[in-house]
Amino acid sequence: MSTEISTQTQPRGLALQSVTDAMKFSETVANSDFAPKDFRGKPASCMLAIQCGAEIGLAPLQSLQSIAVVNGRPSVYGDAALAVCKASNVCEYVIESIEGDGDQMVATCTAKRRGYPQPTVVTFAVADAKKASLWGKAGPWSQYPRRMLQMRARGFALRDAFPDVLKGLVTAEEAQDYTHHVVAETPRQPVEVRPKFDDARPAGGVIKLKTSTPEAHEFTAVEKARLAVSRAQTVDRCDALRKTTSERLADGTFSQAEHDEIVGLLLTKAEMLIGSEVTA
C-alpha cells in the first residue's frame, strides 16, 4: 500500500511526502503553541486536518488554521474557502455586497465560473436568518450580524459555483449554526439471574421454590404427590411417542435421521423428569 500523502503546498511551504513525514510534523505541531486549541495535544487530528486541507489545495499550517471539525464534520472557514476558490483556475471572479440596514439587510455573493455564461448569484437576507432561527441568536449572530449574513451568502454561492474545488466542505460559520442533538444513553440495569430452587434443602426434604414474592413456597405432601404423578404421566407419554416414532420409521414416514433426533429429544426429556423427582 502506498504511503504517499496528497499535498498541494506552495513552493516556499513545507512539502510532506509520506504518512511518516505528516505524522512527525503533526506531533511537532500538536505539542506547540501553533496548534489551534481543538488540535492541541492531538497529533492524529492534526494529521487528518492537514490531509483534508491538502485535498483543497492548502499547505499544512494553512490547513490547521483553516479546517475546523464542527459536530463531527470537517468544514473550512469562510475566508479560506474564498481564498481557495479565487486561487483556482476555474474561478473568474467573486463579488460580495451588503445592502440595506437593520431588518432590511441583504447580503449578495456573485461567483462566476470560467466558461459558464451566467454567474451564480446567491442572496441571504435578514428574513432568511429569521426563518432559520438565526437572527438574534447568541454569539456571532448578535455580535456581527452583517458579517454572518455575508458568510452565509458566500458559503452557498461558492458551494454552488465551485463544488469540485471545495470537495463538499461547508463553511465552518454555517456548520456551527446546525443543531446538534446529543442522544443520552440510558444506563442498563443489571440483570439478576436466580436459580429455580434454593441451593440448600432444609431438613425434612422440603423444597423451597423461588417466586416473584419475598415469601418462599413450600410444597405440601399433596403437592409433591401431584408432581410425582404428573412426571410419571409425562414419562409414559414420552415412551409412547418413542414407540410411535419407531413405527413411523418402519413404514417410511420418518427417515433414520429424523427418528434418531426425535427419540433423542424424548429420552432427554424423560431423564430430566426422572432425575428431578421430589423426595420426601
**Predicted confidence band of residue 178 (pLDDT cuts 50, 70, 90):** confident
**Inside any domain, residue 198:** no
**Domain identity same for 107 and 148:** yes
**Domain identity same for 143 and 115:** yes
The reported pLDDT for the residue numbered 238 is: 74
In the chain, the percentage of residues whose pLDDT exceeds 90 is 39
Q: Which domain holds residue 264?
A: 208-275
**Predicted confidence band of residue 61 (pLDDT cuts 50, 70, 90):** confident
Q: What is the pLDDT of residues 259-274, one digit of tens each?
A: 777 777 777 766 666 6
Report the C-alpha gap between 191 and 189 in whole angstroms.
6
- Give the mean pLDDT of 11-31: 79
**Domain identity same for 159 and 119:** yes
**Domain identity same for 41 and 5:** yes
**Domain identity same for 95 and 174:** yes
The reported pLDDT for the residue numbered 191 is: 60
**Domain identity same for 151 and 107:** yes
**Inside any domain, residue 187:** no
Q: How far is CA 248 from CA 161, 184, 245, 261, in A?
A: 78, 59, 5, 13
**Predicted confidence band of residue 243 (pLDDT cuts 50, 70, 90):** confident
The reported pLDDT for the residue numbered 241 is: 77
**Inside any domain, residue 199:** no
**Domain identity same for 162 and 80:** yes
**Inside any domain, residue 63:** yes
235 DSSP β-pair partners: none
**Domain identity same for 80 and 20:** no
Helices (H) then strands (E): counts for the chain: 11, 8
- Sequence-distant (6+) residues with CB within 8 A of 45 are 30, 38, 39, 69
**Inside any domain, residue 172:** yes
**Domain identity same for 59 and 150:** no
Q: Of the ranges 15-19, 216-220, 228-232, which is most confident?
A: 15-19
**Inside any domain, residue 115:** yes
Count up the domains in the chain and report the number: 3
Question: Which pairs from 134-139 meet CB under 8 Å and 24+ separation?
Answer: 134/177, 137/177
Q: Which residue, of 35, 70, 105, is where some domain finishes? A: 70
**Domain identity same for 85 and 172:** yes
